[in-house]
Homo-oligomer: A and B are copies of this chain.
Amino acid sequence: MNLTEAKKQFIQTWGTLGSEWGINRTMAQVHALLLISPNALCTEDIMEQLNVSRGNANMNLRELMNWTLISKELVPGDRKEYFVAEKDIWEIARIIARERKRREIEPVLKVLNGLKEVEGDQSDKELKAFTETVNNLSNFVGKMDKSVDMMLKADENWFFGTILKMIK
């Protein structure tokens, strides 16, 4: 396979994965494009290579900046803004884990903890089933949350080293 075809496939695959994960397809594609680009790209480059509009490119670049997955790079003597992606995969994984924790795990944990305080007759079958599920879930999601915290502080080799050793 040649490079052009391979790039196309990589960008397409990353885009699909993104949308399966609730991330805008174009955002994932822009990220993919920057990930494999040896130098910084400007908005025009991205519009061209991905065939998207200026507005779309701008919005998704901004969102990637929000996630801190990419950053601006100034090219001396050029007024345009250029963008580069963080290339370290472990760092990328940590950024994604951090963002998803913040946006998904934490709010759910909050709701679940609130729901523990539902009041009523504890001999009611309905209520019993409800509180039991909520307690179990809140316990589980709490552990997940702590696990992510741990991962956020960890070094890659140590993390996978320990995890993968568990299987032996």
Q: Which residues on A are within 8 Å of B, measured CB to CB?
A: 1-3, 6-7, 9-10, 13, 17, 19-22, 35-39, 87, 89-90, 93, 103-104, 108, 111-112, 114-115, 117-120, 124-130, 133-134, 136-137, 139-140, 143, 146-147, 149-150, 153-154, 159-160, 162-164, 166-167
Q: Which B residues touch A139, using CB under 8 A?
A: 89
CA–CA, A112 and B9, complex, Å? 9
CA–CA, A136 and B85, complex, Å? 14
- Cross-chain contact A93 with B140 (CB below 8 angstroms): yes
- Cross-chain contact A167 with B140 (CB below 8 angstroms): no
Beyond A22-B19, A111-B13, A130-B36, whether A164 also contacts B136 by CB under 8 A is no
Number of copies of chain A assembled together: 2
Residue of B with least CB distance to A105: B17
Question: Which residue of the partner chain, among B108, B111, B137, B164, contacts A89 with CB atoms under 8 Å?
Answer: B137
- Cross-chain contact A147 with B125 (CB below 8 angstroms): no
- Kindly provide the distance from the CB of A87 to the nearest chain B CB, expressed in whole angstroms: 7
Question: Which residue of the partner chain, among B6, B89, B104, B160, contacts A147 with CB atoms under 8 Å?
Answer: B160
